[in-house]
């Protein structure tokens, strides 16, 4: 059993917190027009804007129904390219993938704000730190808040209407002060905020209770993790799909084509690398995946639909 779960980041009892009032009477599924015990699933592509390869793959997966939702990394080189694509596809369910880390070896990015305004977020070369742990160690919450707002505002300035907030590599969950900013901004912008239950951990019991009352908890996150590109995607995703249960589930995927750009970008990263990401793309676009979702009576939903309940 441990082996089965080891290759999947299967956060049981993980939660999404949604900026909508919880109702004791109606489940989220019912509010969306489904049976109370419906299995809801968002198929979510991370990292849009990171590379041309990622944009191209994500656009293709949106067009074919392989994903329902995605989120964009505003400080990255290919952000504007996707914003331009969005202009002619404004129905797409796109959120802000709040970015405070720069994890690739030879392809780096810093913030949207001038480096002098956010020194605590940047390394000596002006790029974000590579790990979430370093964000936790160094980030000044005031600077982080300014940078996060600048990322949201830049997306809006380029025409994107974000449907939700989420966080690249979980960096916004690096410490309680950042979690508070993140949730507050979700409320201020009136859009759902994505975060696992661990963000509640650092909070006083009272505050935790208030959040549980104030937000809709979402139930399970699924994501391939800790597997190399040689693993069987059919098998790994097959195991995940069996675990999708009533409530709100989110499957996070990482899409790209296995081309020269992505290979060079992800050098030394077999996990989440070029081959790996093209396997994710092919899987979400496969008939087999969609047949399995149907057989398991899984209902696809979007962040936009959920946000509209507010």
Does residue number 242 form part of the binding site for its own copies (CB under 8 A)?
no
Taken in order 245, 204, 207, 120, the sign of the CA dihedral is negative
Question: Among 117, 140, 207, 242, which residue interacts with its own copies (rule: CB under 8 A)?
Answer: 117
C-beta of 29 vs 48, nearer to its own copies = 48
Strands 220-224 and 8-11: antiparallel
Is residue 289 a contact residue for its own copies (CB under 8 A)?
A: no
Among 27, 55, 58, 171, binds its own copies (CB under 8 A): 55
**220 lies in the site for its own copies, by CB under 8 A:** no
Q: How far apart are CA 39 and CA 267, in angstroms?
A: 38
Structure token digits, residue 194:
């994505």
Smallest separation, CB 150 to its own copies (Å): 10
User: Interface with its own copies includes 129 (CB under 8 A)?
Assistant: no
Extract the tokens encoding 296. Answer: 């398991």
Measured CA to CA, the distance from residue 88 to residue 205 in angstroms comes to 46
Binding-site member from 60, 131, 225, 259 for its own copies (CB under 8 A): 259
Choose which of 2, 13, 25, 116 interacts with its own copies (CB under 8 A): 116
Compose the 137-176 pattern: x for residues touching its own copies by CB under 8 A, - for all others. Answer: -----------------x--x-------------------
CB 85, min distance to its own copies, A: 9
Q: Of 23-31, 79-87, 178-186, 269-277, which part binds its own copies (CB under 8 A)?
A: 79-87
Say whether residue 53 binds its own copies (CB under 8 A): yes
Does 103 interact with its own copies (rule: CB under 8 A)? Answer: no
Give CB contacts under 8 A, 24+ apart, made by 171-176.
Answer: 171/98, 171/99, 171/100, 171/101, 171/132, 171/135, 172/98, 172/100, 172/144, 172/148, 173/132, 173/198, 173/199, 174/100, 174/132, 174/133, 174/135, 174/136, 174/139, 175/136, 175/139, 175/202, 176/202, 176/203
Instruction: Give the number of residues in contact with its own copies, rule: CB under 8 A.
Output: 31
According to the binding rule CB under 8 A, does residue 233 interact with its own copies?
no
Residue 48 CB neighbour total at 10 angstroms:
30
Backbone angles phi, psi at 49, to 5 degrees: 95, -20
End-to-end CA distance of the chain: 39
* 260 sits near its own copies (criterion: CB under 8 A): yes
Per the DSSP assignment, residues forming a β-bridge with 133 are: none
d(Cα 140, Cα 161) in Å, to the nearest integer? 28
Give least dist CB 288 to its own copies, A.
Answer: 26
What is the binding site for its own copies (CB under 8 A)? 51-53, 55-56, 77-78, 80-81, 83-84, 105-109, 112, 114-117, 125-126, 154, 157, 257, 259-261, 264-265
């Amino acid at each position: 059993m441990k082996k089965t779960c080891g290759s999947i980041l299967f956060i049981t009892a993980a939660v999404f917190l949604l900026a909508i009032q919880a109702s004791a009477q109606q489940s989220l599924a019912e509010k969306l027009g489904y049976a109370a015990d419906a299995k809801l699933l968002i198929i979510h592509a991370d990292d849009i804007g990171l590379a041309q390869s990622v944009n191209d793959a994500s656009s293709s997966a949106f067009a074919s129904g392989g994903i329902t939702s995605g989120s964009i990394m505003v400080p990255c080189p290919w952000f504007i390219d996707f914003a331009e694509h969005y202009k002619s596809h404004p129905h797409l369910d796109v959120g802000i993938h709040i970015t405070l880390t720069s994890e690739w070896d030879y392809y780096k990015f810093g913030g949207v704000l001038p480096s002098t305004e956010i020194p605590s977020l940047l390394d000596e070369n002006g790029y974000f730190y590579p790990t979430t742990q370093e964000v936790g160690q160094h980030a000044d919450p005031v600077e982080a808040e300014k940078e996060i707002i600048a990322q949201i505002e830049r997306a809006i300035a380029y025409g994107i209407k974000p449907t939700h907030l989420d966080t690249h590599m979980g960096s916004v969950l690096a410490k309680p002060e950042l979690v508070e900013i993140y949730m507050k901004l979700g409320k201020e912008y009136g859009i759902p905020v994505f975060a696992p239950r661990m963000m509640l951990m650092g909070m006083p019991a009272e505050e935790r209770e208030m959040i549980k009352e104030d937000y809709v908890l979402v139930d399970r996150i699924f994501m391939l993790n800790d597997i190399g590109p040689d693993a069987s995607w059919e098998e790994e995703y097959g195991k995940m799909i069996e675990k999708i249960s009533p409530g709100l589930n989110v499957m996070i995927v990482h899409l790209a084509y296995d081309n020269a750009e992505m290979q060079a970008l992800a050098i030394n990263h077999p996990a989440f690398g070029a081959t790996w990401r093209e396997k994710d793309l092919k899987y979400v676009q496969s008939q087999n995946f969609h047949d399995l979702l149907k057989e398991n009576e899984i209902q696809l939903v979007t962040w936009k639909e959920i946000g509209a309940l507010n």
